[in-house]
Amino acid sequence: MFHILVADDDKNTRLLFKAVLERGGYTVSTAVNGEEALAVLDDTHVDLVVLDIMMPKMDGYEFTRLLREGDNNLPILMVSAKQLPADKHKGFLVGTDDYMTKPIDEAEMLYRIKALLRRAKIATERRIVIGDVVLDYDAMTVKKGDTVQELPQKEFLLLYKLLSYPGKIFTRIQLMDEIWGSQSNTGWETVTVHIGRLRKRFEGFEEFEIESVRGLGYKAVKRV
């Protein structure tokens, strides 16, 4: 069972989030500020932090900055009444993984937490499992049953990126920048070529497919 830490100086908010998360099947600890949250992390294994920004002694920005400077990649979801773009930008700059503004939609918060935990698991294990298919980042292989395919680097990285965020649309430019690098002289057309190769390579797979989104780009769709 995943353990989530809620850090917020408002008692009613802490109680609300705790109840919502426990109904979602999570174990929950709470803290009233960043200093207390750090103390909890020293004594308890935590999988994710739901973090307010405006707290006494140590605010959410400072808490996040300290964790990231210490190479702690614990997933953080900032939930704050601060709604200005500059506030959100600051949150992402210091290292938060996601940002929601109060009042929150409880179901949406649970969806976001589930997604953050899934991405953290992928980052830690460097493997993606979809039914009988296993993508191994370190070996750059795709395995199904007893069959193992070793992919060219760019093909594998492209597939791994898409399947890390199933349902998310990526533009060709986004994929070009992330896989080939923003300084690459290669045109975005190479993304189309590599997508075509991946589709041909995995056309017999029922577990996933890569879909074109007209006028936008591509997304991976899981079928199991």
* 11-68 pLDDT, tens digit each: 999 999 999 999 999 989 999 999 999 999 988 889 999 999 999 999 999 999 999 9
Q: What is the pLDDT of residue 219?
A: 96
The answer on pLDDT for 224 being more than 90 is: no
DSSP letter for 179, please: I
Pick the closest to residue 25 from 121, 113, 100, 145 (CA basis). Answer: 113
Residues 49 and 68 in one domain: yes
What share of the chain in percent tops pLDDT 90? Answer: 73
Alpha helices per DSSP H over 24-132 = 34-43, 60-69, 85-94, 106-125
The answer on pLDDT for 122 being more than 80 is: no
Residues 15 and 103 in one domain: yes
Q: What is the CATH number of the domain that holds 148?
A: 1.10.10.10
Residues 174 and 80 in one domain: no
Q: What is the pLDDT of residue 45?
A: 84
The mean pLDDT of 94-118, rounded to a whole number, is 93
Pick the closest to residue 140 from 188, 190, 179, 182 (CA basis). Answer: 179
Q: Which of 95, 125, 155 is the last residue of a domain?
A: 125
The mean pLDDT of 162-184, rounded to a whole number, is 85
Per-residue pLDDT tens for 206-223? 999 999 998 889 999 999
Kind of pairing, strands 127-130 and 133-136? antiparallel
What share of the chain in percent tops pLDDT 70? Answer: 99
Q: What is the pLDDT of residue 43?
A: 81
- Residue in this structure with the two tokens 């959100």, named with its chain if needed: 88
Count other C-beta atoms under 10 Å from residue 161's C-beta. 16
Give the CA distances from residue 201 to residues 69, 130, 142, 210, 220, in Å, rounded to whole numbers and listed in that order. 42, 17, 11, 11, 15
Q: What is the pLDDT of residue 111?
A: 95
Residue 103: asked if its preceding bond is cis (omega within 30°), the reply is yes
- Residue 182: pLDDT band (50, 70, 90) is low
Domain ranges, residue 160: 127-222
Question: Residue 13: which residues within 8 A CB-CB, separation 6 or more?
Answer: 52, 102
Residues 197 and 93 in one domain: no
- Count: domains in the chain: 2
Per-residue pLDDT tens for 68-82? 998 888 999 999 998
The answer on pLDDT for 181 being more than 80 is: no
Residues 56 and 91 in one domain: yes
Q: What is the CATH number of the domain that holds 59?
A: 3.40.50.2300
Residues 149 and 203 in one domain: yes
- Residue in this structure with the two tokens 């994929």, named with its chain if needed: 175
Length of the chain: 224
Residues 140 and 43 in one domain: no
HSE-CB of 78 using CA atoms within 13 angstroms = 29
Residues 131 and 121 in one domain: no
Which residue would you say has higher pLDDT here, 112 or 138? 112
The answer on pLDDT for 89 being more than 80 is: yes
- Residue in this structure with the two tokens 């802490």, named with its chain if needed: 14
Kind of pairing, strands 170-171 and 217-222? antiparallel
217: phi > 0 → left, psi -120 to 50 → alpha, else beta; which? left
DSSP letter for 105, please: P
Say if residues 126 and 99 touch (Cβ distance below 8 Å): no
